[in-house]
Amino acid sequence: MIYGVALTSDTHEQLREHLLQTFDQEDLCFALWYPSNGATRFSALIHKVVMPKEGERLLHGNASVTPEYFNRALNEAMESGAGLAFLHSHTGPGWQGMSDDDIDTERAMAAQAKAATSLPLVGMTIGTDGALSARFWEKVGPKSYKRKWCHAVRIVGHGGLEATFTDDLCPPPGFREELKRTISVWGIEKQQKLARLKVGVIGVGSVGSIVAETLARMGIQEITLIDFDVVEKHNLDRLLHATQEDYLKKHLKVDVLKDALKKSATAEHFTIKPIPCSVTEEDGFREALDCDVLFSCVDRPWARYILNLIAYAHLIPVVDGGIAVHTKPNGDLRGADWQAHIACPTRRCLECLGQYDSGYIETERRGDLDNPSYIQSLARDHVLKRNENVFPFSSNLASLEVLQMLSMVIAPFEISDVGTQHFHFVPGIMDVEHLGICHNYCLFPGLTAKGDKCGYLATGEHPKAREIRQQQAASQKRILPRIISAVRRFADKIKYKIKKP
């Protein structure tokens, strides 16, 4: 199990203001957190800081917590159905370890926190530069609690995406000749930060395949590909790495891309994880929660709704984009537009950006969007029928999405939000909008850092994904006897040659 912690930029600023008031005085506070359970990562999402009242802590160079403060915070956690986090400051920069007193204090709190909330105590330490370290105190036996260090602490919001890594668990990659030019652009420290982010690409079609290729060549160490679909003939003019053989053999898109990325990746220790599911299914959803950044390369409303929920409730930024091609009745091109943006706390969500219509989610759940009769019944210019696309448009959008991610992580000149970028192929201009937060009636900001406790059941069975898996399983059953028969014939030939004088 991998452990992690995430919080918003606003919460981080609140913690810095309180815990780092003076350079030579440590301080402390409590916070409430909600769980986010991925396939292999368990994250604590810091939801609310419980500030100390007068007399609830003692400051003497170090800092001590009073029983009254601990009990008040614990009661608030119980009432909110949340876990309890204990935070304190150290008088040094960077990732912080623990003193013997720190260990004793947190271990003493661990049993009561677990008994009251059913969740482990999370301990966190902040350095003078705002860097955070974190650990979970897991129960390993009667009255016995063990410290489990988090791989990273992520901060998401108007400051971009910041991350403090535990180097022992997630070592920074060294210089590589293959990445010499890349490192020369933004430096080794930014490259080490980028490389250690786990990135998910949701939908590996015309845009997603190019995004994934770009990430692999940039030196990203871990990439997850989530897509249930197979290569079709009409994909071949715009699906990077796909061939006629892939179409004829109905290879999964994630498998085709996995094999290609293994050849083009520049990271020394590269991991690629293909997930043949929809992100709307429970398995695909949980795999997405293991990631630090997600690229939304989908064109259906249900998947975008899921990713929107993840961006706010689970504090995982979603880099999204879309292409709209407009043609005349005779088929001539009238115009083409595409846009790229990021959904996360303090930015406008995908629904408020108009990237999907929630009214069509139930339609997709029923499988109607994969029903030719239903699609044919729609008007020619209906939004659900706009599937025209070409490789040049896809490559440009993929580039914009990757650049959005780079701005968010690298933040040159401290500019982490470049706004929503709209490119108009006709007449060849780009508009940029800074739209701010969501509409007043939007529900997603209210779900920020709620994680698994957000109260929304988002996933379900995806009819098309289930159908393709059944076809793949049936194909494997047909192929397996042929393989066995071929192996037996080969073995018989070997035996014959051995026996022949």
> In this structure, what CATH number is given to the domain that contains residue 289?
3.40.50.720
Tell me the pLDDT of the chain averaged across its residues: 93
Lowest mean pLDDT among 285-294, 354-363, 380-389: 380-389
57, 68 contact by CB (below 8 A): no
Asked whether residue 202 is domain-assigned, the answer is yes
Q: Which residue's structure tokens are 């368990």?
A: 42
Please indicate, yes or no, whether residues 286 and 365 belong to a single structural domain of this protein.
yes
Last residue within a domain, chosen from 111, 132, 165: 165
Q: In what helix (H) or strand (E) does residue 8 lie, and over which residues does it extend?
A: strand 2-8
Q: Which two tokens stand for residue 140?
A: 């390993």
> Which of the four pLDDT bands, split at 50, 70 and 90, describes residue 24?
confident
491 inside domain: no
For residue 311, give both structure tokens: 């961006």
Provide, rounded to the nearest whole percent, the portion of the chain with pLDDT above 70. Answer: 93
CB within 8 Å of 443: residues ≥ 6 apart: none
- Shared domain for 213 and 89, answered yes or no, is no
What pLDDT score was predicted for residue 339?
96
Q: What is the DSSP letter of 360?
A: G
Rounded to whole angstroms, how far apart are CA atoms 134 and 126?
Answer: 9
Q: Per the domain annotation, does 333 fall within a domain?
A: yes
What is the 8-class DSSP label of residue 252?
A: B
Residue 474, C-beta contacts closer than 8 angstroms, at least 6 positions apart? none
- Among the candidates 123, 141, 165, a domain finishes at 165
Does residue 500 belong to any structural domain of this protein? no
89, 118 Cβ separation under 8 angstroms: no
Same domain, 134 and 206: no
> Same domain for 256 and 347?
yes
Other residues' Cβ atoms within 10 Å of the Cβ of residue 284: 25
Q: 422 pairs with which residues across the strands? A: 339, 431
What burial class does residue 177 get, using C-beta atoms within 10 Å of its C-beta: 0-12 exposed, 13-18 middle, 19+ buried? exposed
Q: Looking at the structure, do residues 94 and 233 belong to the same domain, yes or no?
A: no
Q: Determine whether 242 is exposed, middle or buried from the number of CB atoms within 10 Å of its CB (0-12, 13-18, 19+).
A: buried
In this structure, are 417 and 353 located in the same domain? yes
Q: If you average pLDDT over residues 90-113, what whole number do you get?
A: 95
Residue 154 lies in a domain: yes
Q: Which residues pair with 420 in a beta bridge?
A: 433
369 shares a domain with 237: yes
**Is 489 among the domain residues?**
no
pLDDT at 451 over 90: yes
User: Final residue of a domain: which of 165, 185, 215?
Assistant: 165
How many domains does the chain fold into?
Answer: 2
Non-local (6+) Cβ contacts of 417 within 8 A are: 158, 160, 342, 347, 407, 408, 434
What confidence score (pLDDT) does residue 496 get? Answer: 59
- E-only strand ranges, 362-448: 420-424, 429-433
Domain for residue 475, yes or no?
Answer: no
**Lowest mean pLDDT: which of 162-166, 301-305, 437-441?**
437-441
Q: How many CB atoms lie within 10 A of CB 145?
A: 21
Residues 198 and 160 both lie in one domain = no
Q: What's at 401, amino acid-wise?
A: E
Domain assignment present for residue 225? The answer is: yes
pLDDT band of residue 176 (cuts 50, 70, 90) is: very high
Q: Is 216 helix (H, G, I), strand (E, B) or coil?
A: helix
Residues 91, 38, single domain; the answer is yes
User: Tens digit of pLDDT for each residue in 112-164?
Assistant: 999 999 999 999 999 999 999 999 999 999 989 999 999 999 999 998 999 99
Chain centroid, CA 193 distance in Å: 15
CA dist., res. 384 & res. 39, Å (int): 32
316-338 core/surface letters (b: 16 or more CB in 10 A; e: else): bbbbbbbbebeeeeeeeeeebbb
Same domain flag for 429 and 379: yes
Question: Would you say 248 and 236 are in contact if contact means Cβ atoms under 8 Å apart?
Answer: no
Of 281, 223, 274, residue with least CA distance to 253:
274
The residue range of the domain holding 374 is: 177-461
- What's the CATH number where 140 sits? 3.40.140.10
Both 429 and 313 in one domain: the answer is yes
155/194 same-domain check:
no
307 and 279 Cβ atoms separated by less than 8 Å: yes
